[in-house]
A = this chain, B = another copy of it.
Amino acid sequence: MIVGVSLYADDLEPGRRFDFGRYTVSEAEIVDYARRWDPIFIHVDPEAAARAGLGGVIASGLHTLAIYQRFAVETIWSQAAGGVGRTMDIGFRRPVRPGTTLTGHATVHDVTPRPARGDAVVTIHGELVDGEAVVLTVVNESVLPLRAAAGDVS
């Protein structure tokens, strides 16, 4: 077993913060995502969205959430020793327009060990921002293994 590489619930003390990189969203990507999963005109039709006073398409909230998740995988979940998402409470706070550069962070809010199950419920609060403006908030509850239960004594 490779030890010392993976992140267990034990490693996620409340207050630990993960800072995301930066990602610029293009109009083509906004339209592509929404055509497949959220084909409403405000996401897929630049001219109709402009006529509706939006100045062009805005990203599907699910697309914005997908960008959040990719950041979370890069910074947290790709290191995790396992685990599974249980809930996500999402706030869509501001529209995301083509050319916007997003970044953000996620902070461990609570860890509730369940020794009998060998795991812990981990609550993480995250957000995506465009400059100073919060565009998306996420409260995510996941279940992660405890180190002892995995027999990992590193």
Which residues of A are in contact with B by a Cβ distance under 8 Å? 36-40, 42, 52, 60-62, 65-67, 69-70, 73, 77-78, 82, 84-92
Contact = CB atoms under 8 A, between A and B. Distances in A.
A88 B61 contact: yes
B86 A91 contact: yes
Contact of A87 (B73, B78, B90): B90
Given A86-B91, A86-B92, 11 more contacts: A36-B66, A37-B69, A38-B69, A39-B73, A40-B73, A61-B88, A62-B65, A85-B92, A87-B90, A88-B88, A89-B89
A42 B90 CA distance: 23
Contact of A88 (B69, B82, B90): B90
Number of copies: 2
A70 B37 contact: yes
9 contacts: A38-B69, A38-B73, A39-B78, A40-B77, A65-B65, A86-B92, A87-B90, A88-B90, A89-B90
A132 to B, nearest CB: 21
